[in-house]
Amino acid sequence: MPTIYGDTLDAAGRCTHYHSEKDVIANKCATCNKYWACYECHAAATGHSFGAMDLKSLAVLCGACGHEMTFADYTGNTNSCPQCEQVFNPGCSLHRHIYFQVSD
């Protein structure tokens, strides 16, 4: 499984900012090409803004099983991992403008 960077609390990528049972998504920064537990962890550890990924790139990592997903894979799967069925935090959609090049 790719490394999840940030102030992580466990191997699934839960961090000091987001750490519920459902907070197991890591997002890739287009600038540094690393998976981060959250944008706040990224801001604390780097000197650059979080680079939003294009919608067709593998940019989301399930911290439960290591499955990498595109935006469509992530958003089109009833809020769970298409590989292991781990349920994701529905509140993550509030930050998609940070992680992805979306126009809504």
What pTM does this model have? 0.93
Distance CA 55, CA 71 (A): 5
Confidence at residue 93, expressed as pLDDT on a 0 to 100 scale: 85
- For residue range 24-83, list pLDDT tens digits in order: 999 999 999 999 999 999 999 999 999 999 999 999 999 999 999 999 999 886 789 999
- pLDDT-derived band at 104 (thresholds 50, 70, 90) equals low
Residues 6 or more apart whose CB falls under 8 angstroms from that of 52 comprise: 30, 97, 98, 99, 100, 101
Confidence at residue 76, expressed as pLDDT on a 0 to 100 scale: 86
Percentage of residues of the chain with pLDDT beyond 90: 88
